[in-house]
Amino acid sequence: MSFQPSHPIPYGRQHITEEDIQAVAETLRSDFLTQGPKVAEFEAKFAAYIGARYAVAVSNGTAALHLCALALGVQPGQRVITTPITFAASANCVLYCGGEVHFADIDPATALIDLAQVRRLLESHPKGYFHGLIPVDFAGLPVHLEEARKLADEFGLWIIEDACHAPGGFFEDSAGQQQGCGNGQLADLAIFSFHPVKHIATGEGGMITTNRADLYEKLLVLRTHGITKDPAQMHRHDGGWYMEMQTLGYNYRISDILTALGISQLSRADEGLARRRQLAVRYDAAFAAVPAVRPLAATPGHAYHLYVIRVADRKGLYDFLRTKQIFAQVHYIPVHTMPYYQELGWKPGDFPQAEAYYDQCLSIPMFPALTDEEQQYVIDCILEFVA
């Protein structure tokens, strides 16, 4: 092995160009650092990219989840189902509103929430016991939302699609139509994050997409303190300065500085996605004849936020790769095994598929700026370890 990396290779990282830097610098010289034209421009362009009617930009993906839960009216006594294999925020948003989080185990082939398990859970309780479902397009593999929607309609649930890993991803529905992640056709709301490891980076940032006008109106108000400036919505109108706080909202806005970066990044989103898929094909080929390395299921609509392999000695491989300057990562520690969730009554053993997956999973480098040479080095190191 002749190639030696000149710097550590992470599992994911942002790709910032001179145009991105120029876009931010222009905004810094403009009249608006926040609440100017860039936020609305980013929202309109993102909605068009995702194929949804409305988009609401917010301060981060977690704020997006919180606002979604608020807009859907989550409150104490309500129960919501999500997957244990996700970032904790997918579940935490329910707790922020006083609701209860329940989990359904994953399908081991995909690491996505197993909709058959969701059905079992729903059927083992009276109708009305659960209020919502938060499926996650984990690693960039889209959840089959058509099936999720059928379940949701049968049991009276709303759906928040956590699409943080999957902008540009799609699945094929029963009519042969491509359903893009977050397009609002099947889920009530979808959320995205613009953390630097995600497809589109703004540093911190998030987005909610929806086709529902009622939820869109609520989200706009909740994002800015619960304050409205729309005379049509007001109880009275004292003058030009007048505004009304009508509900308890938050400051979950994003700035023009950050959305200027987002707009510039979004213009290269397809390029980045194509590169991710190209890297995945190369990994798939490299591991196809290596039974010790088992990648998760692949589909044409996979958005490859992560490339996850499963190996018997995961800790051994993780430690070995670090000695080779390769910083792989584990996604995720099952949420229900976190000490905070154990205090809520969940315990190891509750979701055996998620726990078995956790013992073997490793996310290896997957980001558009990863070079062919670096990727080959990663492959060679993994093959060296499992040989």
Ligand X SMILES: *Cc1c(COP(=O)(O)O)cnc(C)c1O
Q: Does 182 bind ligand X (CB under 6 A)?
A: no
By the 10 Å C-beta count (0-12 exposed, 13-18 middle, 19+ buried), 220 is classed as middle
**Interface residue with ligand X, options 89, 143, 215, 364 (CB under 6 A):** 89
Q: Which amino acid is at 164?
A: C
Q: Could you give the C-alpha distances from 4 to 15, 84, 149, 280, 316, in angstroms and in order?
A: 21, 37, 49, 22, 21
Residue 89 or 303: the one with the smaller Cβ distance to ligand X is 89
Q: Does 86 bind ligand X (CB under 6 A)?
A: yes
Report in angstroms how near the CB of residue 321 gets to ligand X at its nearest: 21
Q: Does 134 bind ligand X (CB under 6 A)?
A: no
Q: Does 306 bind ligand X (CB under 6 A)?
A: no
The two structure tokens encoding residue 127: 């109708």
Q: Does 193 bind ligand X (CB under 6 A)?
A: yes
**Interface residue with ligand X, options 38, 102, 149, 195 (CB under 6 A):** 195
198 part of the active site: yes
Catalytic one among 45, 127, 150, 198?
198
Q: Could you give the C-alpha distances from 376 to 273, 278, 279, 287, 346, in angstroms and in order?
A: 19, 13, 10, 12, 41
| Interface region with ligand X, contact rule CB under 6 A, candidates 24-32, 158-166, 274-282, 284-292 | 158-166
Start-to-end Cα distance in the chain: 15
Helices H, strands E: what count in the chain? 13, 16
Q: Does 196 bind ligand X (CB under 6 A)?
A: no
Pairing of strands 132-134, 170-172: unpaired
Give me the residue label for tokens 């790709």. Answer: 15
Q: Does 252 bind ligand X (CB under 6 A)?
A: no
Give percent helix, percent strand, percent coil of the chain, each to the nearest 5.
Answer: 40, 15, 45
Under 8 Å between Cβ of 87 and 198: no
Report in angstroms how near the CB of residue 289 gets to ligand X at its nearest: 31
* Closest residue by Cα to residue 182 from 71, 47, 277: 47
* Closest residue by Cα to residue 171 from 198, 153, 145, 147: 145
**Interface residue with ligand X, options 169, 180, 206, 365 (CB under 6 A):** 206
Q: Does 15 bind ligand X (CB under 6 A)?
A: no
Residue 61 or 365: the one with the smaller Cβ distance to ligand X is 61
**Interface residue with ligand X, options 68, 164, 187, 306 (CB under 6 A):** 164
Q: Does 90 bind ligand X (CB under 6 A)?
A: yes
Q: Does 110 bind ligand X (CB under 6 A)?
A: no
Report in angstroms how near the CB of residue 363 gets to ligand X at its nearest: 11
x/- mask, ligand X, residues 55-74, rule CB under 6 A, reads: -----xxx------------
Q: Does 165 bind ligand X (CB under 6 A)?
A: yes
* Cβ-Cβ contacts under 8 Å for 281 (sequence gap 6 or more): none
| Interface region with ligand X, contact rule CB under 6 A, candidates 141-149, 162-170, 211-219, 221-229 | 162-170
Residue 162 or 355: the one with the smaller Cβ distance to ligand X is 162
Q: Measured between alpha carbons, how far is 339 from 316 in angstroms, rounded to an integer?
A: 25
Report in angstroms how near the CB of residue 377 gets to ligand X at its nearest: 26
* Cβ-Cβ contacts under 8 Å for 263 (sequence gap 6 or more): 23, 38, 41, 42, 45
Interface with ligand X (CB under 6 A): 60-62, 86-87, 89-90, 136, 162, 164-165, 193, 195, 206
Query: What positions carry a catalytic annotation?
Result: 198
